[in-house]
Structure 1
Amino acid sequence: MTAASMSDLAPLVPLETRDGLLLDVRPAYAEDEGLLAAFFEKVSDEDRRFRFLAASRNVSHDQLVPLTRVDHWRTESFLAFERETGALVASAMLACDAVMDTGEVAVAVRRDFRGRGVGWTMLDLLASEARKRGLKRVISIEDRENHAAIELEREKGFEAHGIDGDPHLVMLEKRFD
C-alpha cells in the first residue's frame, strides 16, 4: 500500500527536511501492518534493535500491532513517505501516559534515508503533536550505544538522564514551557 492509496483515510501532511527532501506524512492504520513490516526490513539490524530495544531479524505481528492500532489521540503513529517515489522512509510514534502529562517518542528511518534530516523532521512533528495534546514533556528511551539518536535528541533540546538499574539505557527528556 502506498501513501496515495491510503490518502483517503487521512490527509497527507507535506513536510520538508532540512536537506530539502519532501515528505508526505499521515497517521498509521491497521491496514498498514504489511507496509510497516516491509519498512522494518529496510531498517538496519542495529537501528531495528535500537527502535525495539531487542535484537531480531524481523519485526513480529505483536510488535507491529501497537504501531498500527492506535487511538490517534493518546497514541499516534506516523508514516513518512518520500514524495517523489511514494516509498515509506520513516515511522514515528508518540505514546502518552494516562494523565496526558508525558509522551514517549520513537523514530525509525530507513537506512538509505539516514543523514538526510528525516529523523530531525519527524522528531519536530512528534514535539508539535505533544504540544497540541497539552503534554508537559516528552521522553525517549535509548540504548547508550545509539549515539546518533542521542546526539539528535540533544540537538533538539532533550536532556539525558540515567535509568536506575539499567546501565545500558538512557532516558532523554524534553520539557515544554
Structure 2
Amino acid sequence: MPQITTLAELAPMTQMTTRDGTVLTVRAAFSEDEGVLADFFDKVSPEDRRFRFLTAIGHLEHAQLQPLTHVDHWRTESFVAFDATTGEIVASAMLACDPRMQTGEIAVSVRSDYRGRGVGWTMLDLLAAEADRRGLERVISIEDRDNHAAIELEREKGFEAHGLDGDPHLVLLEKRFA
C-alpha cells in the first residue's frame, strides 16, 4: 500500500462558488494548518472572534487551535476555505457531533474582508451537507444574541431560534433533517 506523504493526498479539495461568484477551495483541516489558522483568526475582527469562541480572545494560541486541527474527521470535522484566486484562507467551519451521531454543533468564521460575499452561506451549506451525509438528525449553533448577522443567516438557511436555558445572552439555533 502506498504511503501518504503530502497534505494534498490527505485532504481532497472541493471547489465551491459563493453567491457573489467568489470561488473557494475547501478541504478538511489538519495539524499542519495550525499556523494558517492562527493567521486567519488574526484577520477576523475581534467581535467576530468573540462571537465564534463566545469569549473575548486575542491571538489564538496552540490550546485554542488544537481542537480545530486535531480532529477525527468523522465525529468532528474542521474545514478551511481558501480564495481560489489568491490562495488565502478566508473561512473556517467546524462540525462537532455528539457520541450517538444524532446532533452536531456547527461554527463558522469568515475573514472580515470577505463578510457579505456569501462565504458564510456557502460554509453553512457545506456543514449541512456533511451533517446529512453523516446521518445526523439535527445541527445546532449557539450564538451570542448580539450576533445578529449570524442569527439572521442561519434563520434564512432554515434554522429555528430558541432561548438557551440559564443564559439570557445566548440563543440556540437548530436545523432538523428529514
Shorter-chain TM band? over 0.9
SS of the residue 1:166 aligns to: coil
Q: Deviations over 1:81-113 (max 9, x none)?
A: 000010000000000000000000000000000
Alpha-carbon distance in 1 for matches of 2:90, 2:118: 11
**58-67 or 107-116: which moved more?**
58-67
SS of the residue 1:93 aligns to: strand
Are positions 1:95 and 2:96 aligned together?
A: yes
Aligned length in residues:
173
Instruction: Give 1:6 shift.
Output: 3.8
SS of the residue 2:57 aligns to: coil
Question: TM-score, structure 1 length as denominator?
Answer: 0.96
Alpha-carbon distance in 2 for matches of 1:63, 1:171: 22
Question: TM-score, structure 2 length as denominator?
Answer: 0.95
Which structure 2 segments of 5+ residues have no match?
1-5
Counterpart amino acid of 1:45? Answer: P
Are positions 1:125 and 2:147 aligned together?
A: no
Alpha-carbon distance in 2 for matches of 1:102, 1:142: 16
Alpha-carbon distance in 1 for matches of 2:12, 2:130: 16
Taking only aligned residues, the RMSD between alpha carbons, in angstroms, comes to 0.9
Percent identity among equivalent residues?
72
Flag as ranges the 4+ runs of structure 1 deviating above 6 A: none
Alpha-carbon distance in 2 for matches of 1:6, 1:73: 18
Counterpart amino acid of 1:26? Answer: R
SS of the residue 1:170 aligns to: strand
Corresponding residue for residue 13 of structure 1:
14
1:64-75 equivalence runs, <5 A: 64-75=65-76
Instruction: Give 1:59 shift.
Output: 1.4
Alpha-carbon distance in 2 for matches of 1:59, 1:159: 31
Alpha-carbon distance in 1 for matches of 2:138, 2:57: 30
